[in-house]
Structure 1
Amino acid sequence: MTESVWLRNDRPRRGAPPLTRERIVAEAVALLDEEGAGRLTMRRLAERLDTGSTTLYWHVETKDDVLELALDAVFGDVPIPGRAPGARADWRADVVALTSGWRRAMLDHPWSASVLGGRPLLGPNVLARTDFLYAALAATGVTGPRLAGAAYAIANYVIGSALMQIGVQDDGEPATRKAAEHLVRNRDLYPALAEHGHLRGGEWDTAFTQGLDYLLDGLTSRP
């Protein structure tokens, strides 16, 4: 695993060309949204920025740097729940709002969920939202390893639900319909799946909310 771009001190760039990190990240997110992570290369990004690869390397050293920065930009699209001054804190509403926003951001940027694993998430947007999640869960009285375990379970649930929905949407409606028909034809072998095992269109949001409720119910039910 390469060192996180966030742990590296910016070296002085004497004579660095007039290209900002913000512009690089915005163009990288646009490229990733249009073509996916598999098509991201430093050369292609430099071409979109109308500059040379050497110029790009003044600002980011590797493709992993670009992905880290782009991921943090996506997290910046996730609203941090707020409340009116004096309003009573509601940890559950905060967790639901934060995770729902995170899932929506990943669905809006389908590449993001697939590149989260195996890389440090140390950008300021990621850390601010993760800290908010931990603080919300701590309001239940859970601490230490149990708190980390709860946050880990919730994060994996959000990522997994987004990946599953993105995969189904990429296959398209015909593939989804054929899968459902296959289960119905084999009802004798897979009766529970034939009855309950597939989601349609607008059911994804409801299923996500219900699954999150089950997780949060479990968190508060344990002594």
Structure 2
Amino acid sequence: MAGDQEAPSEDSHQRAHGSAATSVWLREEVPSRSRRTLTREGIVVEAVGLLDDQGIGRMTMRRLAERIGVTSTALYWHVKTKEEVLDLAFDHVFGFVEIPRADGDWRSDVRALLLGWRKTMLDHPWTTALVGRPMLGPNVLARTEYLYSTLAGTGLSGIELSAITQLFANYVIGTAAAESTWHQAETAPEQQALAWQRIEDNRDVYPTLYQSGHFDEQRASSDELFEHGLDMLITRVVDTA
């Protein structure tokens, strides 16, 4: 666009700010000097759309700028690196996870939160690739605080509280990651049927897998398996801790 300078490459920009740039959540936001109506919130919304459409592998600052209709230089007034955009996008979608209104039944509150968490990760499958990062955004922390405080209300504390909270989080993240990978394949239904057929054809070799219906969507859908497992965690782990 007229008046814009050519944007530096993403590599050079990230080197200029250090290869291990401080987390976007651990520094003060510098007021933008851009004359555009572009905002960081608007950038994040478009980044989520780009990630939903093309995934992390295709996410670059240049493609994001093209999607918005600006140059990469314009983006850098608001965000320093692609990594910051990913952190912001991750936190943004976690705002879609509804925080239950505490009704006095901690089990239903925890269940509702984790069902919403899983749905959000399945709706935005790129999020599963980012869970190893330190997530310090307000939406993630608010929901983590809710989970901790709800479980603390059962009498859990210290390492038991941390361990059981992590157990729930890992259950959601692990199942969402596996389901997202499986469902993104164009031939997922066919592959599912072939996987079950292999178990069925070799029932003498894998009798327990056959009896339990491993890979058989007719016996239990992914939703049913997740919810049953979640209920087991609630009743058998928390209630006996």
Alpha-carbon distance between aligned partners in 1 of 2:184 and 2:109, rounded to the nearest angstrom:
31
Larger Cα Rg: Structure 1 or Structure 2? Answer: 2
Question: CA distance change for structure 1 residues 15 and 97 in 2, over 3 Å: closer, same or farther?
Answer: closer
Please tell me whether residue 104 in structure 1 is matched to residue 123 in structure 2: no
Match in the other structure for 2:231: 213
Q: How many Å apart are 1:12 and its aligned residue? A: 3.8
* Within-5 A mapping of 1:31-46: 31-46=50-65
Question: Which runs of 5 or more structure 2 residues have no equivalent in the other structure?
Answer: 1-19
Aligned CA-pair RMSD: 1.6
Letter in 1 for 2:189: E
> Does the CA contact (< 8 Å) of 1:92 and 1:216 recur in 2?
yes
Please tell me whether residue 68 in structure 1 is matched to residue 87 in structure 2: yes
Letter in 1 for 2:118: R
Alpha-carbon distance between aligned partners in 2 of 1:189 and 1:7, rounded to the nearest angstrom:
54
Alpha-carbon distance between aligned partners in 1 of 2:163 and 2:231, rounded to the nearest angstrom:
17
Match in the other structure for 2:217: 200
Question: CA distance change for structure 1 residues 100 and 199 in 2, over 3 Å: closer, same or farther?
Answer: farther
Q: How many Å apart are 1:142 and its aligned residue? A: 0.5
Q: What percent of counterpart residues are identical?
A: 49
* Large movers: runs of 4+ above 4 Å: none
Please tell me whether residue 116 in structure 1 is matched to residue 131 in structure 2: yes
Letter in 2 for 1:96: R
Alpha-carbon distance between aligned partners in 2 of 1:99 and 1:50, rounded to the nearest angstrom:
37
| 1:74-123 CA distance string (max 9 Å, x none) | 1100000015xxxx511111100000001111111111122222x11111
Query: SS at the partner of 1:100?
Result: helix
Aligned with residue 162 of structure 2, among 123, 143, 148: 148
| 1:13-70 CA distance string (max 9 Å, x none) | 3345331011101100001111111110010001001001111011111111111111
Alpha-carbon distance between aligned partners in 2 of 1:2 and 1:214, rounded to the nearest angstrom:
41
Structure number with the bigger relative contact order (C-alpha 8 A, sep ≥ 6) is: 1
Question: Which runs of 5 or more structure 1 residues have no equivalent in the other structure?
Answer: none
> Does the CA contact (< 8 Å) of 2:34 and 2:74 recur in 1?
no
Please tell me whether residue 174 in structure 1 is matched to residue 190 in structure 2: yes
Q: Work out the number of aligned pairs and report it.
A: 217
When normalised by structure 2's length, the TM-score is 0.85
